[in-house]
Amino acid sequence: MAKIGLIDYGMGNLFSVQQAFKRVNQPLDIIRDIKSLRSCDALILPGVGAFDPAMNNLRKTDLIPSITNWVNNGKPLIGICLGLQLLFETSDEGNSKGLGVIKGHIRKLPQEKNERIPHIGWSPIYKINECPILENYPESNWMYFVHSYSACPFEEKNIVATTKFGKTNFSSIVWHKNTGACQFHPEKSGIAGQKLIVNWLKWLKRTTF
């Protein structure tokens, strides 16, 4: 069984993520330092809150160089909600630089008639490109979102699923090298979210890094 590390920098809903993986019989190791990170086969970067405080907290852990090297070396990582946004270079939400392992910017959701910001609740995702976590997925699945910002990757190939917000679409899943990230919360998205987690675990088992 793969050893999967859940990064704790003080801004992630760790309990919900742990429970979601527990339901599919996958334990998670809490990661707070470089030594424990190096012993992992895969990482999860969760996140709830604002961009600048999250980056400040990450800097205090001294994990940023290890995380960026991890992604750049093609090791598997999945980001959740704010964890997705931190993977990018910059954000409308603050002045801090992100991890920068995916080229692009985090933009505030547009003001849309009949849509509220933050975007909270259930919305379908639409697969537009293939990636391991969407293998054998139907065209759309409803996931649970809580966010005011979304990712705009520099390369469109990094976008593998989108979600409608008024008249526009935003990227709801991105994929780069062996890093995937979801703007929604798979751990709070019922059966559809659990299927995505299971797909990721199956991919880990059959892939050698």
What residues act catalytically?
Answer: 81, 185, 187
- Cα separation, 181 vs 178, whole angstroms: 10
Name the token pair of 14: 């760790």
Task: Collect all residues with Cβ–Cβ distance below 8 Å to 1 and sequence separation of at least 6.
Answer: 26
* β-pair type (179-182, 77-80): parallel
Q: Residues 126, 130, 134, 139: is their CA dihedral positive or negative?
A: positive
Task: Collect all residues with Cβ–Cβ distance below 8 Å to 106 and sequence separation of at least 6.
Answer: 51, 85, 88, 90, 91, 92, 93, 98, 149, 150, 151, 152
Which residues sit opposite 113 in a β-bridge? none
